[in-house]
């Protein structure tokens, strides 16, 4: 009975997703296999290859990037800072031996997993999208798999088992665990407030309704280039801020520590999470941080009538 349910599920998945789904499944399987074994990826099977440009090394971006170019949103894939994983030029700038710090430089793909730099003696091409796959002829693929699955469920005989059962059963098992779980992007909400994503760097505009800018980012404990939510300056009613993490990372939040009492009451509540300070105009903001897991929700009650601060989310620094 269990084998029949798995077979029915596979038929539905193959028929619905077609060739594109099959490619994604193969890529996900390869990525999980490489990560589990810790082996490098010299051919960029688990990532996304950039186009060949004369005089430049090819780049292998992370597999979740979708493409390996400098497209406008390459730095904010899945709501996180993906600049040095998905933006081709930024990945290339971190090539080991090109001036990037040793603790963050990217090795060649013959030594590491994506993001990495492909060896220059060979030009790598993206897989042909028109190549024949199970998705292009799913009825035959399902038939072959059912025969192999049936053979695998038979008691062992005195003769050697057919070799077709080994590879096909492994593929099916992995497919059920890599059904690309669709998660909501990381988000920040507050009753009646609207937020937009921006990038935190020295001189970045702080709020959507003011022209003030952030300074002294180096002392904040937040890596420059981290994505943050730009909301109103101080116009909040009563309620709590709610952060949802689509993936694991570090959640940063800050509030005003000088001037009027507009810190949300966080100076005492979250003092153990303080990692640094930064400024806007002439005022100082205390910065706090906590590591979160995928699917985790953090609720921050606002206990002061006004609030001046902000929120960011990014990978846990190495």
Residue 210: predicted pLDDT: 92
Residue 260: predicted pLDDT: 64
Reported pTM: 0.45
Between CA 181 and CA 133 the distance in angstroms is: 22
Between CA 273 and CA 290 the distance in angstroms is: 7
| Nearest CA-CA partner of 314 in 71, 78, 60, 119 | 78
Residue 7: predicted pLDDT: 47
CB atoms within 10 A of CB 151: 14
Is the N-terminal amide bond of 255 cis, ω within 30° of 0? Answer: no
Between CA 144 and CA 47 the distance in angstroms is: 29
In the sheet with 226-230, reading across from the earlier edge strand, the strands are 196-200, 226-230, 309-314, 249-256, 283-292, 274-280, 214-215
pLDDT in tens, the chain (318 residues): 545 554 444 454 444 445 445 555 555 555 555 555 557 889 898 899 999 888 888 999 998 998 999 999 999 998 889 999 999 999 999 999 888 898 889 999 999 899 999 987 655 566 666 666 656 666 666 677 677 777 666 655 554 545 454 554 555 555 544 444 334 589 999 999 999 999 999 999 999 999 999 999 999 999 999 999 999 998 899 999 999 999 999 999 999 987 668 999 998 899 999 999 999 987 999 999 999 999 999 999 999 989 999 999 999 998
Q: Mapping DSSP to helix (H, G, I), strand (E, B) and coil, where does residue 228 land? A: strand
Q: Could you say which DSSP state residue 213 is in?
A: B
Residue 54: predicted pLDDT: 86
| Nearest CA-CA partner of 311 in 191, 197, 183 | 197
Q: What are phi and psi for residue 297, nearest 5 degrees?
A: -120, 135
Over its C-alpha atoms, the chain yields an Rg (Å, rounded) of 25
Q: What does DSSP say about strands 309-314 and 226-230: parallel, antiparallel, or unpaired? A: antiparallel
Matching residue, tokens 């002439």: 282
Residue 107: predicted pLDDT: 92
């Amino acid at each position: 009975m269990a084998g029949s349910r798995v077979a029915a599920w596979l038929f539905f998945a193959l028929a619905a997703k077609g060739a594109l789904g099959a490619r994604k499944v193969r890529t996900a399987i390869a990525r999980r296999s490489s990560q589990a074994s810790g082996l490098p990826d010299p051919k960029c099977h688990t990532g996304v290859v950039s186009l060949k440009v004369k005089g430049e090394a090819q780049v292998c971006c992370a597999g979740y990037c979708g493409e390996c170019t400098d497209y406008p949103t390459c730095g904010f894939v899945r709501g996180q800072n993906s600049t040095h994983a998905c933006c081709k030029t930024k990945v290339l700038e971190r090539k080991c031996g090109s001036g990037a710090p040793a603790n963050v430089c990217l090795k060649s793909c013959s030594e590491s997993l994506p993001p990495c730099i492909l060896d220059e003696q060979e030009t790598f091409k993206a897989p042909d999208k028109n190549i024949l796959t199970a998705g292009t002829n799913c009825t035959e693929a399902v038939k072959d798999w059912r025969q192999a699955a049936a053979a695998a469920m038979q008691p062992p005989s005195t003769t050697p088992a057919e070799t077709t059962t080994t590879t096909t059963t492994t593929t099916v098992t992995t497919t059920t665990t890599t059904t690309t779980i669709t998660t909501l992007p990381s988000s920040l909400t507050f009753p009646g407030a609207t937020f937009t994503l921006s990038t935190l760097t020295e001189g970045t505009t702080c709020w959507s309704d003011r022209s003030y800018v952030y300074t002294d980012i180096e002392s904040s404990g937040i890596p420059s280039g981290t994505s943050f939510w730009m909301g109103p300056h101080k116009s909040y009613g009563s309620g709590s801020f709610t952060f949802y993490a689509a993936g694991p990372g570090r959640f940063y939040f800050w509030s005003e520590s000088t001037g009027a009492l507009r810190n949300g009451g966080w100076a005492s509540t979250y003092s153990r999470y303080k990692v640094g300070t930064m400024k806007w105009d002439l005022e100082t903001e205390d910065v706090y941080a906590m590591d979160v897991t995928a699917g985790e929700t953090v609720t921050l009650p606002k206990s002061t009538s006004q609030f001046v601060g902000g929120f960011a989310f990014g990978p846990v620094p190495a």
